[in-house]
Amino acid sequence: MSTTSEPTTQHPEIDPLTPVLSADWGEKRSWTRAVYETGGGYDALRRGLREMTPEQVLTEVKESGLRGRGGAGFPTGMKWGFIPQENPNPKYLVVNADESEPGTCKDTPLMMASPHLLVEGVILASYAINAHHAFIYVRGEILHVVRRLQQAVAEAYEAGYLGRDILGTGYDLEVVVHAGAGAYICGEETALLDSLEGRRGQPRLRPPFPAVAGLYASPTVINNVESIASVPGIVRHGAEWFASMGTEKSKGYVLYSLSGHVREPGQFEAPLGITLRELIDMAGGIREGHELKFWTPGGSSTPILTAEHLDVPLDYEAVGAAGSMLGTRALQVFDETTSVVRAVLRWTEFYKHESCGKCTPCREGTWWLVQTLKRLEAGQGEEGDIEKLVDLCDNILGRSFCALGDGATSPITSAIEHFRGEFEAGMHTPAWELFPYRASSVFAPEVTPA
């Protein structure tokens, strides 16, 4: 695929890629405090704690337009502002580092290469909401990231950036690195809180929202890793600088993660609003001799899109208008060798496995979805199976405590919308005959269309 197009950001003078979060990743020993500080690391902490009040830090983040990078896109400063400061209970900051949405792979390299960026953000965010205890809830299945975080926190204590009387300002903060134990649902913020309290990770009914009754029933802010890691840049360079990147309502820089059938998958940090066409170009194009078939804009819970959406600006508004969600910018790219039915079945099996079992529509519904999709993959679909899938999705969507069930329906309904013919073919022909699976793999022999 050979493409060219103008950047679609609101600010044409801004470069197509803007590494800030990823700026240090190429440095040797980038995970150490010494290297981090060489590049100006912890300057924002000094500015924030010495020259600004907590309210001023909060205002700066509000004015920057930073929105949550964990998928939902809620304005971060506003979330902080919901903390009732008059509430006598302690305030808590919890970082959601339980990265596990299929396709999402941005927080993991960030924490591995630049754990101090997260730690600095944690201190500034905690200061802004008057928290004296913060937790980094990191998924347990990324062991080396856990090590790097533990060490960064220890180094920050040694440097006097954590603990009592930070930088002589009188501000105290304790940070705990907490490893999870393998449960996708704990990426959902209220399930994460239950898990952090030592319970089964099951979502809570809201209201009350965590800002009012979160961890230990106390006011709690839960933010994604990338959101918190964006804070030092905002405090150091100012809200205006941050907001000069991105689009009108989607400000700043984000990590776009390209995976799948592109020549050079990887992380691309760009202002919000870049298009998939531009990103695929940067990733060297779709693999040789193939073409784009479908893709997810923000993980498997966001409805799939196709080649007709290549020029949609990847910001919160435009992707929403295209019928999907920006999510975590987990751009999983699949070429024409890929069976949509196979892909969707596998995602559905994931949701069935990860459903926490609390709500019946999700627990039972995902089971039924898998049964039906398995028939279709095997070419043994029955008359009415497609309608059954749509009907099941209709009965799951919006009927559970959290968004896991909703997410489970996204790939199915969107795939039926865009590729109904493949589901119909599942009434008589196995998916692996229509799309021999080996042809999709990276170790398939070089395929040139016969």
Partner 1 sequence: MTQQQSRQVQTPPISEDVRAELVEIGTRYPQARSGLLPMLHLVQSVQGRVTAEGIEACAEVLGLSTAEVSGVATFYTMYKRRPVGDYHVGVCTNTLCAVMGGDEIFERLKDHLDVGNDETTEPVDGLKDITLEHVECNAACDYAPVVMVNWEFMDHQTPESAVQLVDDLRQGNEVRSTRGPRICTFRQAERVLAGFPDGLADEGPSAGIASLNGLQLAQLNGWGPPPGRVGTDADRAQAVADQDRAAAQATAEDGQEGAAATQASPAGTKHDDAPGTGDEAQ
| Binding residues among 286-315 for partner 1 as defined by CB under 8 A | 300
For position 183 contacting partner 1 by CB under 8 A, the verdict is yes
For position 329 contacting partner 1 by CB under 8 A, the verdict is no
Give residues with Cβ within 8 angstroms of 345, minimum separation 6. Answer: 370, 373, 374, 376, 377
For position 409 contacting partner 1 by CB under 8 A, the verdict is no
For position 162 contacting partner 1 by CB under 8 A, the verdict is yes
Phi/psi of residue 180, nearest 5 degrees: -75, -170
Question: What's the chain's length in residues?
Answer: 450
Q: Out of 172, 353, 398, 433, point to the residue binding partner 1 (CB under 8 A).
A: 353
Instruction: Compare residues 25 and 209 and give the one whose CB is closer to partner 1.
Output: 25
For position 181 contacting partner 1 by CB under 8 A, the verdict is yes
Rounded-to-integer distance, Cα 246 and Cα 294, Å: 25
- Give all strands (DSSP E) within 22-124, no chain letters: 92-97
Residue 139 near residue 196, CB atoms below 8 Å? no
Judged by CB under 8 A, the stretch of 14-22, 55-63, 358-366, 396-404 that binds partner 1 is 14-22
Q: Out of 5, 56, 172, 182, point to the residue binding partner 1 (CB under 8 A).
A: 182
DSSP 347-385: HHHHHHHH--S-SHHHHHHHHHHHHHHHHHHTT---TTH
What H or E segment, with its residue span, contains residue 99?
Answer: none
Instruction: Compare residues 177 and 322 and give the one whose CB is closer to partner 1.
Output: 177
> Which 235-294 residues touch partner 1, going by CB under 8 A?
236-238, 241, 244-245, 253, 256-260, 264-270, 282-283
Q: How many CB atoms lie within 10 A of CB 326?
A: 27
> Which 84-143 residues touch partner 1, going by CB under 8 A?
90, 99-105, 107-109, 112-113, 133, 139-143
Minimum CB separation from partner 1 for residue 383, in Å?
Answer: 27
Q: Out of 2, 4, 441, 448, point to the residue binding partner 1 (CB under 8 A).
A: 441
Instruction: Compare residues 360 and 382 and give the one whose CB is closer to partner 1.
Output: 360
For position 199 contacting partner 1 by CB under 8 A, the verdict is yes
For position 32 contacting partner 1 by CB under 8 A, the verdict is yes
Reduce the secondary structure of 245-285 to three states and give it as a string. Answer: CECCCCECEEEEEEEECECCCEEEEEECCCCHHHHHHHCCC
For position 216 contacting partner 1 by CB under 8 A, the verdict is yes
Cα angle 22, 23, 25; round to 5: 65
